[in-house]
Every structure is written in C-alpha cells, then in structure tokens.
Amino acid sequence: MFQDILDFLIKFGPWGLFIHAFADAVIFPVPAFFLQVSLSIMHPQNALWLATYGFIGCLLGTPFGYLIGKLLGKSVLYKILKKEWIDAATNMFQKNGEAAILIGSFTPVPFKVFTILSGCLNFPLWRLLAYAAIGRATKFYVVGTLFYLYGNAAEGMVKDVSLYIALIAVPLILVGMFIKRKRKRRKMEQEKLAESNPVLMEEKIREQTSDQTPSA
C-alpha cells in the first residue's frame, strides 16, 4: 500500500515530495528521504529545488504532528511505528529534548516520532520548529547537494548519508550541550555565592533596582 502511495506521489514531482515531507512530519510511516532520492535520480539538475520543497513541507507539517501528540498522546505512535523507535526517542527526549530533535532529524528514526513526542511532553513548539529547521535542512540539502554535484552517481553515496551526518553532527551537538551545561552550572554557583554573601546580595539587588528605575 505504501509503495502505491509513493508511486502516486512521484508523478507530481516536487509537489509530491512536498506532500510526502509534510505527511512524514505528521503521521506517514515512510520517511520522505526515499521519495527525495527517487526524484533526484530522475532529475539531478533539480536536486536542490527538490530539497527545498521537502524541507518546507516538513516544517509546515511539524506543528500538525505536535498537535497530534498534544491531543492524542503517545498511544498513536505505537499504532503506526516500531516500539523500539518510540522507546529510543523517548529516552533521548528525557535526557535532552533539544539534542534529541537535532539528532533525530537526520537519523533513520521517522521524524514524526519527535514531532508527536514533543506535543506529548509539552516541549515548546517554537523550539521544536527551530531545531527541526536546523536538522531537517541538513538532511535534505546534503542529499540534494550530492545529487546536484554528482548526478546519478550520488545514489550510492546517500545510502549511508544519515550515518555520515551523525558522525559529524552528533559530536558537535554533544560538545555544545557540554558547554551549555557548564555555563548554566557556573551561573547557578555564582547565584548561590551571591545569596550566601550579604554584601554581594545587596549589590545584586541594587543593580536590579537601578535597571528597573526609568531614566529621566
């Protein structure tokens, strides 16, 4: 059945990919990656345009996936996807939701898992959109660029594109998380020090008061 749907969508070219990417972010279980590759093989000169259609479709579909999670909860995921995908994504979310979205955007785990989970766990929608934009742009445009530069020869390259992106991006994301947590911890220590030292606390209150006082 899913193959019949893909065969139908491929007839519409870029707009078929747009629809597929939109549905991929909402509930359709087959990632838009497969249709993007098929269309890029047929029209490698338009590969970057195809990536753009897919990227925009995915972003527009993201709030709808979020809404499904908000209204129906995680149960809908277990009806359409593998339990191990859902459990893995949930575990990532519980550790760090932002990193989960970024990493999940270019892993084999269907992206709708992360849009629906975001709604289930009340993750801020604007953050979901921001991190989805970064991750999905990476996935769509890496594939599009390879086909644009190498034509049909890129077919063999993109099979492991998720792995290659992950090998580069995941360490960068982990380093970013480490730096962010270190800065947050340092800020908390400074606040505790200020609270334990009356002089520093008084200076802090004075600074806050002066900031709130309107200038003449």
The residues, ordered by sequence, that sit 6+ positions from 57 with a Cβ below 8 Å of its Cβ are 17, 18, 19, 20, 21, 22, 25, 32
d(CA 23, CA 29): 9
**61 domain residue, yes or no:** yes
Residue corresponding to tokens 């390259």? 157
pLDDT band at 33 (very low <50, low <70, confident <90, very high): confident
Number of domains the chain is built from: 1
What is the percent of the chain with per-residue pLDDT over 70, rounded to a whole number?
Answer: 68
Residues of the domain holding 42: 2-183
Is there a domain that residue 215 lies in?
no
Helix (H) or strand (E) holding 111: none
Cα dist from 155 to 24, 132, 146, whole Å:
21, 25, 9
196 in any annotated domain: no
Is the confidence at residue 176, as pLDDT, over 50? Answer: yes
Q: Which amino acid is at 4?
A: D
Rounded to the nearest 10°, the torsion over CA 104, 166, 97, 28 is 0
Q: Quick check: is 31 in a domain? A: yes
Nearest in space to 16 (alpha carbons), one of 27, 1, 40, 29: 40
How many CA atoms within 13 Å lie on the side-chain side of 141?
Answer: 9
Domain assignment present for residue 213? The answer is no
| 212 is a domain residue | no
Q: Quick check: 196 and 169 in contact, CB under 8 A?
A: no
Q: Per residue in 12-32, pLDDT tens? A: 999 999 999 999 888 888 888
